[in-house]
Amino acid sequence: MAPPEPKHQADAVRTTPQGSPLVGRPIHQEIPYGSAWNAVRRLADQSGLVFLDSAMSHQEVGRYSFVAADPVATISSLDGLRDAMARFPLQHVEGIPPFQGGAAGYLSYEAARSLEPRLAERMPPPQIPAVDFRIYDRVVAFDHLEERAFVVSTGYPEQNETARVARAAHRLEELLRQLGVVAAPRSGHGIIRNWRSSFSRSEYEAAVRRTVEYILDGDIFQANITQRFSAPVPDGFDPLRFYETLRRRNPAPFAAYLDFGDVVVASSSPERLVRFDGLTAEARPIKGTRRRDQDPGKDAEHKEALLGSRKDRAENVMIVDLLRNDLSRVCDPGSIEVPVLCGLESYASVHHLTSVITGRLAAAYSAIDLVDAVFPGGSITGAPKLRAMEIIAELERAPRNLYCGSLGYLGFSGRMDLNICIRTALFHQGIATVETGGGITRRSDPATEYDESLDKIAPILQAFEEP
């Protein structure tokens, strides 16, 4: 990528008649459109690298990618995020991608402990920070639909308007220089084998049978049971090289790479938890999976079997109802709609049934209130959500950490997009972990559920074996 000479426009100082600063507005400059991966490589040695990656281009869900590094602050709670959004309000600029500076990071699955006191007694604490967002004053943003790219700079954390605008201009020009430096080749490798699961086949099938008993006893309608695969990370392993392989083999619209030092994440998630565009909230739960086949005829059979599966459709509709209820807690009455019910989406290795639920966020609520209402996603817990999460904690016996948590951005302008961390690898304290599972209903067959969970994880494990 070769950025042009800076020609950005800095805002004039804007104040109210009383002299207090107005809400800030970022400055931005368009740069030549190219591979977002090149920007990642050139910023990879900076701290706090974040790549929110629409590796699978799609005009609706895979339109934008964002790269940021060198954060100005770390936030470790949702209350901290709420405070940061209040301190650094930003006008949204139309015509450029929606993340224009703000917080990017993750919520672990166990972050739900702080949202629901009843869960704190049952769920184990995570082995990583429960909430870890970094504040980015600059972003490299890509619009893959229009094939345009921008650098955006906010000038925060400066609070004085004149100083903020000056800092924004300085930081933007600094970022342009960094993007103009060719990255050195990376020398690490990406092979990990000898994975060990937290469940044997018999143990997993027993957990499925116990879940079905809970359903027949009337405790729940459905629950998602998962198994964890872990392996030591060898010397010389390069997570970024692994992610390069993963995104090439399994492109996904909500993929991501985070390097927060002790916690590194490589995700090829196809699932959105929730997006907020300033007016409307959107959730896109996935329920129902079939593996793909290289033979077109067999692939079509798998697709038809998924579309015709009463079990998968029932499970999907159940989660749609759960999310309609979650969104109704913060959306205007009567605004909840389901524009897509059990739509088919096909990825490199699997077909999915995906639904879309939307609602107009009520004026009294913010994007963080929206997170509070829907986190964690019902598609990876079950229904009713709280009881399903208690049963999950009992049967899985270990924290999920990042798996089934969420990852994405919350912009200073209030825009937000968070995925659900499935198809995700976590590197922490010398151990790599990946997890997989499935929704259990009264119709579930334990052996089939075990085999389907392996189908889902196979593409991730295969990516670890490519040098």
The single-letter code of the amino acid at 204 is Y
Euclidean distance between CA atoms 271 and 253, whole angstroms:
8
pLDDT at 155 (0 to 100): 96
Residue bearing tokens 């929606």:
98
pLDDT at 17 (0 to 100): 38
Q: Give this prediction's pTM.
A: 0.92
First to last CA, the chain: 26
Euclidean distance between CA atoms 250 and 348, whole angstroms:
6
pLDDT at 322 (0 to 100): 93
Nearest CA to 417 out of 425, 405, 407, 426 is that of 407
Q: What is the pLDDT of residues 286-328, one digit of tens each?
A: 988 888 888 999 999 999 999 999 888 988 999 999 999 999 9
Q: SS3 of 124, please?
A: coil
SS3 annotation, 352-409: EEEEEEEEEECCCCCHHHHHHHHCCCHHHCEECHHHHHHHHHHHHCCCCCCCCCEEEE
Classify residue 70 by its DSSP letter. S
**Is the distance from CB of 362 to CB of 327 less than 8 angstroms?**
no
Q: Helices in 44-139 by DSSP H: which ranges?
A: 78-87, 112-115, 117-120
pLDDT at 117 (0 to 100): 82
Euclidean distance between CA atoms 114 and 116, whole angstroms:
6
Euclidean distance between CA atoms 427 and 189, whole angstroms:
15
Classify residue 185 by its DSSP letter. P
As given in the structure block, the two tokens for residue 384 are: 């009713």
pLDDT at 59 (0 to 100): 66
Which one of 110, 161, 282, 287 is the catalytic residue?
A: 287
Q: SS3 of 283, please?
A: strand
Q: Helices in 148-222 by DSSP H: which ranges?
A: 161-179, 201-216
In the residue annotation, 271 being an active-site residue is answered as yes
Euclidean distance between CA atoms 375 and 405, whole angstroms:
8
Euclidean distance between CA atoms 155 and 100, whole angstroms:
11
Tens place of pLDDT for every residue, the chain, 467 residues?
A: 444 333 443 333 333 333 444 578 999 999 999 999 999 999 999 999 999 999 877 667 889 999 999 999 999 999 999 999 999 999 999 999 999 999 999 999 999 998 788 888 889 999 999 999 999 999 999 999 999 999 999 999 999 999 999 999 999 999 999 999 988 888 777 799 899 999 999 999 999 999 999 999 999 999 999 999 999 999 999 999 999 999 999 999 999 999 999 999 999 999 999 999 999 999 999 988 888 888 999 999 999 999 999 888 988 999 999 999 999 999 999 999 999 999 998 888 788 899 999 999 999 999 999 999 999 998 899 999 999 999 999 999 899 999 999 999 999 999 999 999 999 999 999 999 999 999 999 989 999 999 989 988 998 999 999 87
**Is the distance from CB of 153 to CB of 168 less than 8 angstroms?**
yes
**Is the distance from CB of 402 to CB of 423 less than 8 angstroms?**
no
pLDDT at 53 (0 to 100): 96
Indicate if the alpha-carbon torsion angle 293, 193, 263, 71 is positive or negative: negative
pLDDT at 350 (0 to 100): 83
Torsion of the alpha carbons at 142, 148, 151 and 154, rounded to the nearest 10: -80
Residue bearing tokens 């972050």:
111
In the residue annotation, 456 being an active-site residue is answered as no
Q: How many of the other CB atoms lie within 10 Å of CB of 19?
A: 6
pLDDT at 295 (0 to 100): 92
Which one of 110, 161, 271, 396 is the catalytic residue?
A: 271
pLDDT at 94 (0 to 100): 94
SS3 content of the chain, % helix, strand, coil (to 5): 30, 30, 40
Produce one character per residue of 291-303: b if its CB has 16 or more CB atoms within 10 Å, e if not.
Answer: bbeeeeeebeebb
